[in-house]
Amino acid sequence: MKRSTFVTIASVVIMVPMLLLVISIKENKAEQQAINAVPEIKKLEPKSAEWGKYYPRQYDSYLETRKSDEIKDVLKQDPNLVVLWAGYGFSKDYNAPRGHYYILEDNINTLRTGAPIDQKSGPMPTACWTCKSPDVPRLIEEKGELDFFTGKWARWGSEIVNPIGCADCHDNETMKLTVTRDFLKRALDAEGSEPFAEAKHQDMRTLVCVQCHSEYYFKKTPWTDPAGEEHTAGVVTFPWDNGLSAEDIEQYYDEREFVDWTHKLSKTPMLKAQHPGYETFKTGIHGKNNLACADCHMPYVREGGVKYSSHKIGSPLDDMQNTCLNCHGESEQELKDIIARKLERKNELAHTATDILAKAHLEAAKAWELGATEAEMKPALTDIRHGQWRWDFAVAAHGGFFHAPEETLRILGSAINKAHDARLKLRIILAKYSAADYQAPAITSKEQAQELIGLPMEKLVSDKKKFLGTLREEWNKEAATKGIFDPKTRDMEFKTSYSK
């Protein structure tokens, strides 16, 4: 090759990338300037599209949570659950979590929220909206916390219309991470080991999630409005005063004689675990190494030289390159195999637990039927209460099998132990009433179990459909007239486990 040709080629080879780099730096600068420009976003603006004007990458990736759209009917997977939750909404309908995009639709469409006909009817309190929408902090700001937490779920149907959004986690002026639910701040302070005022940036990358991914109950709180009228609010409260473990929280509820519902078959005063994701995560290896939820669920990604946090919150396994592989030397497949094995181990113990617990409920029902007394039954029912609480705590901490495998298996072990204790006690009672050989009926399918516990499924579904076609439509119209929702977050297909 001639020397001059070489020089020409060499300079082209050098010049082209340099030129591209200059262009890309310029573009980045323009983008950076747009980002640095002081955005005009209202305080607690619930419409994420308004924020998206300034932060398009975060907004677009946030909308991608719609890709996780599969309905997994958990009652179908394990029909024992129908028996475990007899007398409680979860026995009617329960699906595994899916993308944040569906957060409101799933809440509105589930049979658990029933079929209200006006603002004052239906089975659920207002508190059921709490972990669904940035309209919640907006309403709390407008009405006050106690007023917000008063009345029925249907009261806010036309007000809570935006799925989880930017305002749930960010300050409108500084874009800093923020906790918009005061009950989390109060709980951290009451627990004491990490008061909210001491939270560092890395903690905030977890705490924004903990507003919703934690265990809670609705604490009855009487109050008087300015007109002198008396009300009782059901205020979302985290039961952390004694600590974060399953046993600490169980003790908290026992001390207050708190009962979520009375079991329809066994008459046990039951507890329902919500989703103690944080409580269990804290005990695991990643929690102990100070990783935050965002480290795996909101990885930094690059696009045209711009680095940003992916707001497509979902399974970290969809993007292992930017999550696990930042820290781990194994291959993707090796890590996936490890995770799959952890899930299998959890499922094995969880199914053992539900099987024994379902039998315990049915045996208790038989004992009542034969005339057992409250005094005779109480010790067994206490074991059922504790056993089911522990099983639920372990499985409802979604992702717990990976976040904290040892703790999850430990709690499941103790759940199985409690359930066996209950059955031993029940067997003695059954023997006393000449039914030592009683065999509980086998649970074979969701439908069979729902019939066994006496749920009128057809009516529940037809009432629900009526609600969706009437009151629900009115909510939509009212919200559209007021212009308070982001239309891009509401154009989904109707998907539930009950519709055909």
Cβ 335 to ligand HEC, closest distance in Å?
Answer: 4
CA angle, 170 then 154 then 64, to 5°: 40
Q: What is the DSSP string of 85-127?
A: TTTSGGGT--B----GGGHHHHHHHSGGG---SSTT-SS-BGG
Which of 44, 161, 298, 372 is close enough to bind ligand HEC by CB under 6 A? 298
Angle of helix 182-191 relative to helix 201-210, nearest 10 degrees, comes to: 110
Tell me the two tokens of residue 251. Answer: 């003790």
Which of 111, 233, 294, 350 is close enough to bind ligand HEC by CB under 6 A? 294
Which of 111, 219, 211, 118 is closest to 167 using CA atoms? Answer: 211
Give how far the C-alpha of residue 241 lies from the chain's centroid of Cα atoms, to the nearest Å: 21
Cβ 251 to ligand HEC, closest distance in Å?
Answer: 23
Which of 157, 68, 177 is closest to 113 using CA atoms? Answer: 157
Site track 121-160 with ligand HEC (rule: CB under 6 A), x = hit: ----------xx----------------------------
- Name the closest residue to ligand HEC (Cβ): 399
59 forms part of the interface with ligand HEC (CB under 6 A): yes
206 forms part of the interface with ligand HEC (CB under 6 A): yes
309 forms part of the interface with ligand HEC (CB under 6 A): yes
Window of 26-34, 116-124, 248-256, 398-406 that interacts with ligand HEC by CB under 6 A: 398-406
472 forms part of the interface with ligand HEC (CB under 6 A): no
Cβ 206 to ligand HEC, closest distance in Å?
Answer: 5
484 forms part of the interface with ligand HEC (CB under 6 A): no
297 forms part of the interface with ligand HEC (CB under 6 A): yes
Window of 48-56, 351-359, 416-424, 457-465 that interacts with ligand HEC by CB under 6 A: 48-56
Q: Are 316 and 299 in contact (CB under 8 A)?
A: yes
How far is it, in rounded angstroms, from Cα 500 to Cα 495? Answer: 9
Q: Are 430 and 436 in contact (CB under 8 A)?
A: yes
205 forms part of the interface with ligand HEC (CB under 6 A): yes
How far is it, in rounded angstroms, from Cα 49 to Cα 46? Answer: 9
Q: Are 163 and 313 in contact (CB under 8 A)?
A: no
66 forms part of the interface with ligand HEC (CB under 6 A): no
Window of 5-13, 24-32, 287-295, 446-454 that interacts with ligand HEC by CB under 6 A: 287-295
68 forms part of the interface with ligand HEC (CB under 6 A): yes
Binding residue count for ligand HEC, defined by CB under 6 A: 67
Which of 150, 266, 268, 323 is close enough to bind ligand HEC by CB under 6 A? 323
Which of 45, 46, 50, 51 is close enough to bind ligand HEC by CB under 6 A? 51
The amino acid occupying position 307 is K
Which of 122, 234, 316, 387 is close enough to bind ligand HEC by CB under 6 A? 316
- Output 146 or 177, the one with its CB closest to ligand HEC: 177
Which of 246, 296, 449, 460 is close enough to bind ligand HEC by CB under 6 A? 296
Which of 45, 58, 137, 429 is close enough to bind ligand HEC by CB under 6 A? 58
How far is it, in rounded angstroms, from Cα 368 to Cα 387? Answer: 20
Note the maximum CA span of the chain.
106
How far is it, in rounded angstroms, from Cα 236 to Cα 145? Answer: 10
Window of 23-31, 57-65, 230-238, 242-250 that interacts with ligand HEC by CB under 6 A: 57-65
Which is it for the CA torsion 313, 315, 321, 325, positive or negative?
positive
What residues contact 470, with CB distance under 8 A and at least 6 apart? Answer: 117
For residue 135, what is the DSSP state?
A: H
103 forms part of the interface with ligand HEC (CB under 6 A): yes
Cβ 9 to ligand HEC, closest distance in Å?
Answer: 40
Angle of helix 374-396 relative to helix 405-432, nearest 10 degrees, comes to: 160
Give how far the C-alpha of residue 149 lies from the chain's centroid of Cα atoms, to the nearest Å: 19
How far is it, in rounded angstroms, from Cα 287 to Cα 42? Answer: 35
Which chain residues interact with ligand HEC by CB under 6 A?
A: 48, 51-52, 55, 58-59, 62, 68, 96-100, 102-103, 106, 131-132, 164-166, 168-170, 175, 177, 205-206, 208-209, 211-213, 277-278, 281, 285-286, 289, 291, 293-298, 308-309, 311, 313-317, 323-324, 326-328, 335, 338-339, 398-399, 402-403, 405
